[in-house]
Structures are given as C-alpha cells and as structure tokens.
Amino acid sequence: MTSRQFFAPTRRTVVRAAAATAVAAPVLASATSARAAGAAAFLHGVASGDPLPDGVLLWTRVTPTADAVPGSGRGADTAVRWEMSEDAAFTRIAAQGTVVSRAASDHTVKADVRGLRPATAYFFRFTAGDGEQAHSPVGRTRTAPAAGAAVPGVRFGVVSCANWEAGWFSAYRHLAARADLDAVLHLGDYLYEYASGAYPAQTEGVRRHEPAHEILTLADYRARHGKYKTDPDLCSLHATHPVIAIWDDHEFANDAWAGGAENHTPGTEGSWAERVAAAKQAYFEWMPVRASTEGTVYRRLRFGALADLHLLDLRSFRSEQSSVGNGAVDDPERSVTGRAQLDWLKAGLAGSDAAWQLVGTSVMISPVAFGALPAHLLAPLAGLLGLPGEGLAVNVDQWDGYTDDRRELIAHLRARAVRNTVFLTGDIHMAWANDVPVRAATYPLSASAATEFVVTSVTSDNLDDILRVAPQTVSLVAAAAVRSANRHVKWVDLDSHGYGVLDVTAERSQMDYFAVSDKRNPDATSSWVRSYRTLNGTQKIERADRPVH
C-alpha cells in the first residue's frame, strides 16, 4: 500500500460541502434536544432513499411520547406532515402530504413522493403534533436523471459493515460533508445482531449495543435500529444524501442462508422463519428502502442513459454454505441467488441499453482460492478427490461457495455481449480491486468478463484488528500472497477502515478508496488511499493516479 494522501478538495467542493454541512447541522441537535413533557419529537433524524427520475422515498420516526421508545409498542397514532421544496427556506413547496405514525410500524413513517423533477436537489422536513408542534431537522435529497437522459456523470458514496461497538462512524461524516454525490450505496451489514461484547470483545469496543443481548425478536431489531439512528454521523449521512441500501447477513444473523444461520440456534433462540420475519419487518420500517412485492431488497434503479444499478439479495434465497475444501461448492443444485433472482438479473443485464451495468452485491463474486493448478490438471484431480473445481476457496460464504451460479452469470455476460459490468461489493472488511475472470486458473491468458470494486468496512474488524497488531505488520505479506495465488486481484488493502467514492462517466468507472485515521477516534480524519478504474469496453482494472474531485 502506498503512503496515504490527505484528500485536498477543490474550492468548489469546499463550498458545496459547507452547504451540505449546514443542512446536516440540525440533525446533530435533534437527537439530544430537550422537549416538553408529553410532546412529540423527532429523535432519529430524517432520511431519503431509492431516488427515481420523478420521485424519492422520504423517512423519519416520530416519538409521540417519552415512553414510546423504539420497540416498545407504545404511543398513540400521530399525524405527520411532510413537505418538499427546491429551496431550504421552503418558500416554493414542490410536494406535501400527511402520513400517520402508528405503534404497529414502530412510529416510523415513509412518504413515496412522485411528480418531482429529474436530476434535481430538494429539501424536505416533517411536522407532528397539535398545538405545540414538533419539527424535524431539514434533509436534502436528489432525484435521479431522466431514464434516457445523456448524463455526463453520476457519483456514489459506497459503504458497508458498520459495527456499533467496533468504532465510531466517522466515514459517514466524511461522506455527509460531500455535496457532489448523487446517492450513497450501502452494501449491507448496516447493523450487527450480536450481544454486547460478543464481537468485538468487551475490552475492544468503544461503545455498547442496545439492547445488550443478541437481538432475536421484532422489539429487539427495532430497538437496535433505533439505537443506530441516534449516531450523529449516521444521521448526517441520511440527512444529506439519498441512501440506496441492500442487506447482508448481520441484518439477520451471521452467515445467514434461507433456512438458518451460523449465529442462530433453533432450540434456544426460536424459529428461524420468525426471526427473519421480525428482522425484515424492522428493516423495512427503519430504512428508506422500497420493499418489493416479495419482501426482498433486490431491485433495479436507473441513472439516465449512463447506468443501470442492479441490487441483489444474497441471503433470502441461498443454499446453506458448504465447508471449506468441499467440492459441493460446485454443485449446480446449490445457489446463492435463487433461480428467480438470477433469471431476473440476467434478463436485466441483457436487456439494458445503459452504458454501464452496476451490480450491487453484498458478497464478493471474484474467486479467491489457493492451491489452484493449471486447468488441464485441476479439473480431473478435483473430480477424483471431490475438491472445488477452481481451487481451495478461502470464503465459501461468498460466490466461491456457489460456483455454478457464478459460471452461469459469467457465461451469460459473454454470450449476450454484456459489456461494462461492474460489481460493487462489501462484506469482507477489506478493500479490493479485481478483474472477474472467465477461468481463474488460466488468468490472465483467459479473458475477464467484468470488474469488481470491494469497499472496506466502516468499523468492523479486519486483519490488524483481529490480530491486534499495528497496520501493515503482517498485511503486506498476506496481500502479496493473495495476489500471487489470484492474479486477477490487482490490489487488496487488509487493514483500513473507510469508504469508497464511485465516479461513472461514459469513458470509465473509477473507485476512489478513502480511509479514516482511527476508527476508535470520533474525530478521525479521512485520507485518500488508492484509485482504480475500468475503461469503457475493456473489462479490465487499471490503477488511476488521483481521485476524482
């Protein structure tokens, strides 16, 4: 890893950031402001998400009385008025309406607003109560470009894996300070289900979960979501940018699959189906996400003629994970996507006329294996010994554990000449820049079908945290070993915490990787680490010299 360079914004970015900070400032005060006894209040900020050319989803939670805390089931129905305007003073109201906050939805409310102008910034706010009214902070959001519009560029913040106990959410604060983003992609593990002190250990955490026990019930998941949305940096992020989110396993339980999870014991923790239903209900209540009719998060958003964003759900339909080194990872009956979702993705990729196909996937699709041999030797040996056909996979929770789905998808990209496919990934608490090879064992002699940018964690432990050593003590050697065995991996950072900024133009898609100085410091600074890009038509990763400002 090169020495880090502090991000030096242009004057234009500074001016925009000042405006964004001005919008976010009321959110910081809202979570701690005093209120009259019995009066309604907005204690969990405001949010927006899933931008469309003519609309956006608005979110907030009203606390109608002091005892109506998240997950309590208390509090009377409360009318909540929302307003949207193109100016911060709300002198020109673009849309308005009323929704009702109810205990049945944990007093969260959503307004799926339509009839807005494309590619336009809007301010929004909520009001609740009779007589002495409560006013929410003011949020800012942005609609997507018109579906066929010639868009010069689109820019996303990209994050994943925010463990409350493992550190402070400084990465969110630095993204909130940027006013040049069209949206923020959250690629899963928005929250963690563990009991306090379980991960990381009690002595390593900087703050404590609420509730303190492992979350299992609807009330538990609601309370954990509510606690997360008291974090001032997270509130600022939601108040300044629309968020486009998918879930991964920790929104449910560790290493979740369709019928269970590593961190779920049916005998003592009840029914897995009931736990999943509770987790999903709380997620859709507390997140600015549109649920599909199937109660899943896989969906598709369009950003002009420039990009289609295909978002996946890789937990609800997957087969149980195989063991490491088990040839069952190649079994065509096993799936990470499920048949319906894979067909939906293939049809969307082949049918799109956008310049770029962006695929939001919570786990890495690029193979990472050791013990790989040349293809003409590996295939017969794997068949004889019952080993995986693409080498010994390191992490069978990724697409490496479901190689037939990956082969089918890559073959589809090749057969239908789907170009400029970029996978955007979280999950593994490291930053990667990869080509996605057609045949990993013979890469680079064989082709690359797509590219992949993996962002590191906001706070969740990575290599140096787990080993309790200084950054780069062992990671440089480990990264070299990973790249030596997997030549399609162009770069990997095993130690940093932070975020990415993806900038897409007609000519290229570039990921700028940023790291925070210390996840245990609430005032951590942010610095640029590396940039990688893929040029239009190449399906290859190359290093870029500087971040896009």
CATH of residue 186: 3.60.21.70
Examine the domain organization and report whether 454 and 311 are in the same domain. Answer: yes
The DSSP secondary structure of 219-287, one letter per residue, reads HHHHHHHHHHTT-HHHHHHHHHS-EEE---STTTSTT-BTTB-TT--HHHH--HHHHHHHHHHHHHHHS
Q: Which of 143, 171, 194 is the last residue of a domain?
A: 143
Q: Which of 101, 128, 143 is the last residue of a domain?
A: 143
Encoded tokens for 173? 């604060």
What's residue 505's pLDDT?
A: 98
CA distance 60 to 139: 10
* Domain annotation covers residue 412: yes
What's residue 528's pLDDT?
A: 98
Examine the domain organization and report whether 62 and 73 are in the same domain. Answer: yes
Examine the domain organization and report whether 136 and 190 are in the same domain. Answer: no
Please name every residue paired with 248 in a beta bridge, in sequence order, or none if there are none: none
Q: Which of 86, 118, 143 is the last residue of a domain?
A: 143
Count up the domains in the chain and report the number: 2
HSE-CB of 442 using CA atoms within 13 angstroms: 10
* Domain annotation covers residue 549: no
* Domain annotation covers residue 174: yes
Examine the domain organization and report whether 192 and 69 are in the same domain. Answer: no
Q: Which of 241-245, 370-374, 496-500 is predicted least confidently?
A: 370-374
Examine the domain organization and report whether 61 and 133 are in the same domain. Answer: yes
Examine the domain organization and report whether 122 and 26 are in the same domain. Answer: no
Residue 86's CATH number:
2.60.40.380
Instruction: List pLDDT tens digits, range 394-447.
Output: 789 999 999 999 999 999 999 999 999 999 999 999 999 999 999 887 899 889
What's residue 397's pLDDT?
A: 94
* Domain annotation covers residue 431: yes
Examine the domain organization and report whether 486 and 528 are in the same domain. Answer: yes
Instruction: List pLDDT tens digits, range 492-520.
Output: 999 999 999 999 999 999 999 999 999 99
Examine the domain organization and report whether 164 and 111 are in the same domain. Answer: no
Rank 27-31, 322-326, 368-372, 429-433 by mean pLDDT and report only the highest.
429-433
pLDDT class of 388 with cuts at 50, 70, 90: low
pTM of the model: 0.91
Examine the domain organization and report whether 124 and 197 are in the same domain. Answer: no
pLDDT class of 129 with cuts at 50, 70, 90: confident
Encoded tokens for 318? 């997957």
CA distance 506 to 153: 7
Examine the domain organization and report whether 120 and 166 are in the same domain. Answer: no
CA distances from 82 to 57, 95, 230, 286, 346 (A): 12, 8, 21, 17, 38
Examine the domain organization and report whether 306 and 345 are in the same domain. Answer: yes
Q: What percent of the chain is predicted at pLDDT more than 90?
A: 78
What's residue 9's pLDDT?
A: 38
* Domain annotation covers residue 499: yes
Instruction: List pLDDT tens digits, range 293-317.
Output: 778 999 999 999 999 999 999 999 9
pLDDT class of 2 with cuts at 50, 70, 90: very low
The DSSP secondary structure of 5-21, one letter per residue, reads EE----HHHHHHHHHHH
Domain hosting residue 248, numbered range? 5-30+144-544
CA distances from 331 to 285, 339, 403 (A): 37, 14, 8
Q: Which of 322-326, 327-331, 493-497 is predicted least confidently?
A: 322-326
Examine the domain organization and report whether 408 and 439 are in the same domain. Answer: yes
pLDDT class of 197 with cuts at 50, 70, 90: very high
Mean pLDDT score across all residues of the chain: 90
Instruction: Name the maximum alpha-carbon separation found in the chain.
Output: 78
